[in-house]
Homo-oligomer: A and B are copies of this chain.
Amino acid sequence: MKPEDMFVMDLKTKEYVRKPQSYKPSACTPLFLAAYTMRNAGACIHTHSQSAVMATLLYDKEFRIANIEQIKGIPKVVEAGNLSFFDTLVIPIIENTAEEEDLTPDLSKALVEYPGATAVLVRRHGIYVWGPTVTKAKIINECIHYLLDLAIEMRKFNIDPAGTIGSEKHAHK
A residues within 8 Å of B by Cβ? 48, 50, 53-54, 57-58, 60, 67-70, 84-86, 95-98, 122-126, 146, 149-150, 152-159, 165, 168-169, 172-173
Q: How far is the CA of A159 from the CA of B159 in the complex (A)?
A: 18
Q: How far is the CA of A50 from the CA of B70 in the complex (A)?
A: 10
CB within 8 A of A85: which of B50, B58, B60, B98? B98
B154–A156 touching, CB < 8 Å: no
Sample (17) of A-B pairs whose CB atoms are under 8 Å apart: A48-B146, A50-B149, A50-B150, A50-B153, A53-B69, A54-B150, A57-B157, A57-B159, A57-B168, A58-B168, A58-B172, A85-B96, A86-B98, A123-B165, A152-B153, A155-B157, A156-B156
* Residue among A122, A124, A155 having the largest count of chain B Cβ atoms under 10 Å: A124
A154–B57 touching, CB < 8 Å: yes
Residues from chain B with a CB closer than 8 A to the CB of A85 are 96-98, 124-125
The complex is assembled from copies of this chain, and their number is 4
Residues from chain B with a CB closer than 8 A to the CB of A157 are 54, 57-58, 155
B67–A124 touching, CB < 8 Å: yes
Residues from chain B with a CB closer than 8 A to the CB of A126 are 69
Residues from chain B with a CB closer than 8 A to the CB of A168 are 57-58
Q: How far is the CA of A69 from the CA of B97 in the complex (A)?
A: 9
Minimum distance in angstroms from A166 CB to a CB of chain B: 9
Q: How far is the CA of A159 from the CA of B173 in the complex (A)?
A: 11
